[in-house]
Structure 1
Amino acid sequence: MVDDYTDPVAVCNVGDLQEHEMKQFQFNENTKVLVVKQKDQIKAIGNKCTHYGAPLHTGVLGDGRVRCPWHGACFSIDSGDIEDFPGLDSLPCYKVEVKSDGQVMVRAKRKDLENTRRLKDMVKRDPKDNRCYVVVGGGPAGAVCAETLRQEGFTGRLVMVCKEQYLPYDRVKVSKASDVQIETLQFRKPQFYEEYDIETLMGVAATKLSCEEKTLYLSNNTTVTYDKIFIATGCSASKPSIKGSNLKGVMVVREYDDLKEINKLITPESNLVCLGSSFIALEAAQSWGKKAKCATLISRTEFPLMATFGAVVGERVLRLYKDQGIHTVMNSGIVEILGDDNNNVTDVILKDGTKLPCDILIMGTGSKFNTDFLIGSGLPLNHNGSIDTDLYLKTLVDDVYVGGDIANAPVYSHNQERAAIGHYQLAQYHGRIAALNMVGKTTEELRAVPFFFTMLFGKGFRYSGYGKYNDVVIEGDLDNLKFVAYFLDGDDKVVAVASCGRDPIVAQFAELQSQGKTLHRKDLEDPSDPVAWTKKLKLVGKCI
C-alpha cells in the first residue's frame, strides 16, 4: 500500500534554525511539527510526546533524538520511532525538502494529520514459523517486549502471561489517581492483541519453570514449551509483620484491584492512615486523603522521601503535605493495629503509645520480587530474589532473558554496575532491549539512565540518575518549589538530579548521562549561570 501524502507546505526558512536547534512550526490549522537542524540536515517529526502530550520543542535535543521535557521519553529525529520511555507509540515522521531559496517544505502522510502518535509496523504470526516466544508478566516490561517482538519481525507463536485479570495497563496511575477506570489505563484494546496474534493469558500466573526442558508451568494447569522466554514478573507489595496487619481495611496499593478495594472502603467519614515514607505512601495519602475525613501520614524517618531526595528536599515535601491538610507523624511507626469483632481495623498504636483512629490503613512500606516460582528452575537467583543479567538482558541460562523490577541489570549512567531498579520507564526500556536481542537482528546493549517522576498536590517532581550520594546542592527557590537538587558522591560527581518546576533540567541531565558525559561540583559553581553545564549537550559526539 502506497502512503498518501499531502502537498508540500512551507513551514519555515532554513535560516530560522541554528545548527543543533529545534523549533515548533505550524503545518496547518490543526497540526504543528517539530523541525530540527542537526549536522546540516533538516528533519521534521511530531511535536507532542506520545506519553502525556508534552510539547517536545521545550525538551532536549540529543544526538539524533529528542527527549521529552516532562518524563524523559526519547524519539528518533530520523524516523520518529520511540527509543526510550515512558510511552508506547512513536511520532509521525514527515518528508522534508529544502528549496534553493531556503524554504523548508514539509509533506505529511494524510493519516498522520489526525494523529499525534504512530504505531510502528507490526507483523502477524506465520503458521509455518514453529518457534514459540513467551513473555511472563503483563507489566510495562512485558507489554513493550511483546509489541517490539512483532515490530521487529518475529512471526512465531507469541504468548504473554498476565497474572492480573487485565491487559497491560499504566500502573503508575494506580496510586496517583483514585478515580481512574481500567479502560482508560490499559495500553491497548483487546482487538490489538488479537490483530497481531499475541496470545494473552489473563488471570494466569507462572508457577514453575524448567530451564532444562524449556517449559513454563502455569496456574491454569497448562504448560508452554518455549524457544526463548522473557521474564518480567515485577514485585508484589508487602506488609510489615505488625500485629493486626491481616485485619480488613489494612491495604497495600500496587495493582488495579487494590485501587478498587480501597475505593469501596473509603467514605467521607473515614480516618485514613498511610504508613511509609515512599512515593507510594505519599501518593496514596494525596489520592485518597481528599476523600476521607482525616488523613495521616506516618513515617519512621524524619522527613518523607529522605532516601531519595535527602533531608532538605524531604523537609519541603513535608511542609507541602502539612499545607494540604495531611496530618504527619515523623520519626515514628505503628507497633500494633487494632480491630473490632468483625475484624475491621479501628485504630493504630504508634511507637510512643499514641492511639489513632483508623478505618483504612494503606501500607507503602516495601515490596518483594515475584520470583519464587523460579526456585529450582536452573536459573540462578540472588539472595533478595533478583536475577543478574548482562548488557543484553540475557541471564546465565541460554534463551532466558529478564527485565523490569526483578532484573539486576547494568546501569549505564552508573558505570554499568548492576542494580535492580523499580522504575516504570526503565522497565519499558528493558522490554524493548530484550526483544531486540531475542529477535537477534542486531546486538543491542543496555544504555540505561533511570528516570522517575511523580505529581504531589499539583507539583511535578522529576528525578534522573542512580547511585549513593554524600551531599546535596540546591539551586533555585526551594520554598516556592522551583528548584534543582544535585546529588553528589564522595568524588564530587553528580550521580542524580531532581527538580520541581524547572523542566527540562532533569531531562537535560538524563541526556547528558546517556551521551556518556559526567557532571561535577565545579560545573555547578558558575555564579552568573548555575545551569551553564547544559551547554555540554550541544557538543554532540564529544565526551567531557
Structure 2
Amino acid sequence: MSHTIITICAIPLDLMAPMICWRRELHAKEMILKFFDNFESKDKMVEHKGKVSALGTKCSHYGAPLEKGTLCNGRVRCPWHGACFNVETGDIEDFPGLDSIPSYEVHINDGEVRIKGSRALLTANKRTRNMVKRDPENNTTFVVVGGGGCGASAVETLRSEGFTGRLLMITNENYIPYDRPKLSKVMDFSAEKLALRSEKFYKEFDIEILLGTSLDGINTEKKELYLSTGEKESYDKVLIATGGSPRKLGCSGEELQGVFYVRSPEDSNAINNAATEKNVVVVGTSFIGMETAGFLADKATSVTVIGMTNAPFERSLGSAIGARIQSFFEEKGVKFINNAAVSEILGNDGNVSEVKINNGDVLQADVVVVGVGVLPCTNFLKGTNVGITQRGFVPVNEYMETNIPDVYCGGDIASFPLFLQENNLVNIGHWQVHLGENYSLLANVLEELCVNSISAVAWSAMFKKSLNTNGFGTFDDVIISGDLENLSFIAYYCSGSRVVAVASLMKDPAAANYAEMLLQERWLTKDQVLEDPITPKYSMSLKLSC
C-alpha cells in the first residue's frame, strides 16, 4: 500500500506554509511526490478515509521511510520493524521505539492544501509523547522493577496516559535504560550512546530511578519490596520485569578470563576490545551469536561459530534459510562447526587458550563469546505466593497481571496469552514485545478496559543486511518466495493450514504487513500463499481490513 507524500519547505515560527498541493491531487493509497526549491524538511500528506493528515516521514525508531510502510485503519506502520503511528496525531501505537512522530495542522481553503507549524516541529523526525508529572496530592506509588524494554516503556506509558502518582524504577543495571538490541549489533557503542533517554528526561517527568539495585524479595500482603541494599520499598502496584541472565555452558573452564556473555554495555565493549586481531570462538547460532560473529568478522584474526544444529537459525528460520545465511557468513570469512557442542574450555595462566569440542577437536581461542539463551531472573519469587512455572516464568493474564492483585509481570520473565497460539501462554524474549506489553498492563492500572494485541517482531543486522521477522510458534513447513540465493525473499512459516510467522530480507514491508494483520486478529492461511498468482510463485496474500 502506498501513501500520499509531499515534500515541503520549513517555515518561520507558527506561520502558514505556501500551498503544498491541490486537494484533488490527494487520493487514498496513492503516492504523490512534489519537490520545492530550498527545502529543509520532508513531511508526508496522508489521505485516509476522506481525512487529510500531515506527518513526519521517518519512523521514530531507526529512521525508516514511512512512505514505504503500511497504511491501514488510521495507522501507518514502519516497513522495517513494525512501529505504528496514528495518522491523525502521530502518536506511537505499536513498538519498537518510544517516541511519536510530528503531526501538523492541515488547512484546506478553496481546494488549496497548506499546513501550519513551527520551524522546530517541521524539521523534527520525532517527538516525545505528551506526559504528566507527579501530583503531590496523589499518594499512589507504582514501582517498576527492571530497566529493560518493558520497564523503560512502562514508566513512559504510565506518565503519558495520565498516572500522576509516585513512579519508581528499580534496576540492577548501572545505567539508565538503553537500547539493548544493539549490544550484539554495534559492540563498540558506550552505554551513554545507547541510552534511550537522558537523566534530565526522567527528572523532568518525576520518574525516580534506583541504579545498581536488585529485588531480593516481595511480601504481597504487606505490599513491600526487599532490595539488595537492605532497604525496602512500599508499593500500591508493582510491575516486575527483571529480565533474564545468560545461560551458562556448564563445562569446565567457563570461568577463565576471555569467556564473555552479551548482557550489558560493559560486556559488548569488553568483547570488542578483546577480539581485535585475536582468535574468536562464538558458541551459539541464533541472534546473539550470529550478530556477534558478524560484527567481529573484520576485526578478529579468525571467527569460528559452534552450533548444535545443522545450520544457523535452523530452529527459528528453517534449514534452507539457515544454510544460505551460513554461506553468506562464510563468504565474509566466518567459519562454522555445526552439530557440535563445547565440552571444555582450556586455559593458560587463567586466560582462555583453547576450546575443546565434543567430537574431540580442539580450536585455538583467545576470546570465547557464549550466546546460548537466557534464564528468567525469578529466584526471588520462589517461596512467595506469586505464581511461577517449573521453568521459572511467571504466568499472567491478558492484562499482564499475575495471580496476585496489583502485581504485574512483563518482559523476559512473563508467560502471557498470545493470539497466534490460540491465547495459550507463551514466553517471547523480543524487545518489541516487551515494549508493547504495557498497553495491556494499563487496562488494569488506569481502569481502562483495553487489551493490546501483541505481535512478535524481531530483526537482525548481518553485514549491513537486515532480516525482519514477525510471528511466533513451531512450524512444519516453510514456503519461500523470492530469490534465496541473492538474499531477497519472504518466508512463510506454516503450522498446518495457518501461517504463524513470516521472515523477510530485502522485501519490506512484508513483516509490517503481517504485523498489521495480527493486530486485526486475522490469519494468513497456507492456501492464500500457495494460490497467489503473482510471480514468483509464492507471494504475500494479505487481505487487510483497512
| TM-score higher than 0.5 | yes
**Structure 1 residue 450, shift from structure 2 partner:** 0.5
Q: Which moved more, 1:300-309 or 1:178-187?
A: 178-187
Amino acid at match of 2:409: V
SS of 1:192 mapped into structure 2? helix
The one of 176, 197, 202 equivalent to 1:193 is: 202
The aligned residue for residue 170 of structure 1 is: 179
The one of 411, 415, 421 equivalent to 2:422 is: 415
Question: Is residue 215–residue 228 contact of structure 2 (8 Å, CA) maintained in 1?
Answer: yes
Provide the C-alpha distance between the structure 1 equivalents of 2:33 and 2:58, rounded to a whole number of angstroms. 10
**Structure 1 residue 407, shift from structure 2 partner:** 1.2
**Structure 1 residue 417, shift from structure 2 partner:** 2.3
Q: Which moved more, 1:199-208 or 1:429-438?
A: 429-438
The aligned residue for residue 252 of structure 1 is: 261
Q: Which runs of 4+ in 1 moved over 6 A?
A: none
The aligned residue for residue 386 of structure 1 is: 393
| Residues 5-48 of structure 1 deviation map (CA, whole Å, 9 limit, x = unaligned) | 33144222333333345656668812222222222111121111
Amino acid at match of 1:121: N
For residues 440-451 of structure 1, the aligned pairs below 5 Å read 440=447, 442-451=448-457
| 2:153 equivalent to 1:108 | no
Question: Is residue 144–residue 151 contact of structure 2 (8 Å, CA) maintained in 1?
Answer: yes
| Residues 49-80 of structure 1 deviation map (CA, whole Å, 9 limit, x = unaligned) | 00010110110112110100011000011211
For residues 29-44 of structure 1, the aligned pairs below 5 Å read 29-44=39-54
The aligned residue for residue 319 of structure 1 is: 327
Question: Is residue 20–residue 39 contact of structure 1 (8 Å, CA) maintained in 2?
Answer: no
| Residues 370-396 of structure 1 deviation map (CA, whole Å, 9 limit, x = unaligned) | 111111231110111111111111111
| 2:99 equivalent to 1:69 | no
**Structure 1 residue 477, shift from structure 2 partner:** 0.5
Question: Is residue 215–residue 226 contact of structure 1 (8 Å, CA) maintained in 2?
Answer: yes
Q: Which moved more, 1:325-334 or 1:36-45?
A: 36-45
The one of 228, 231, 235 equivalent to 2:240 is: 231
Amino acid at match of 1:210: N
Distance 1:377 1:73, change over 3 A: same
| 2:517 equivalent to 1:508 | no
| 2:87 equivalent to 1:92 | no
**Structure 1 residue 111, shift from structure 2 partner:** 3.4
Provide the C-alpha distance between the structure 2 equivalents of 1:39 and 1:308, rounded to a whole number of angstroms. 38
Amino acid at match of 1:369: P
The aligned residue for residue 461 of structure 2 is: 455
Question: Is residue 22–residue 34 contact of structure 1 (8 Å, CA) maintained in 2?
Answer: no
The one of 343, 346, 364 equivalent to 1:338 is: 346
Distance 1:451 1:347, change over 3 A: same
What RMSD, in angstroms, separates the aligned Cα atoms of the two structures? 1.8
The alignment covers a number of residue pairs equal to 532
Q: Which moved more, 1:214-223 or 1:37-46?
A: 37-46
Amino acid at match of 1:505: A
TM superposition score normalised by structure 2: 0.94
**Structure 1 residue 436, shift from structure 2 partner:** 5.2
For residues 448-487 of structure 1, the aligned pairs below 5 Å read 448-487=454-493
Provide the C-alpha distance between the structure 1 equivalents of 2:352 and 2:518, rounded to a whole number of angstroms. 47
Amino acid at match of 2:141: C
Question: Is residue 94–residue 109 contact of structure 1 (8 Å, CA) maintained in 2?
Answer: no
Provide the C-alpha distance between the structure 1 equivalents of 2:416 and 2:33, rounded to a whole number of angstroms. 37
SS of 1:31 mapped into structure 2? coil
Distance 1:292 1:205, change over 3 A: same
Question: Is residue 389–residue 395 contact of structure 1 (8 Å, CA) maintained in 2?
Answer: yes
Amino acid at match of 1:256: P
TM superposition score normalised by structure 1: 0.94
The aligned residue for residue 428 of structure 1 is: 435
For residues 6-405 of structure 1, the aligned pairs below 5 Å read 6-21=15-30, 29-101=39-111, 103-268=112-277, 270-340=278-348, 342-405=349-412
Provide the C-alpha distance between the structure 1 equivalents of 2:470 and 2:137, rounded to a whole number of angstroms. 45
**Structure 1 residue 534, shift from structure 2 partner:** 4.8
Segments of 5+ residues of structure 1 without an aligned counterpart are none
The one of 483, 494, 502 equivalent to 2:499 is: 494
The aligned residue for residue 7 of structure 2 is: none
Question: Is residue 25–residue 35 contact of structure 1 (8 Å, CA) maintained in 2?
Answer: no
Provide the C-alpha distance between the structure 1 equivalents of 2:251 and 2:229, rounded to a whole number of angstroms. 33
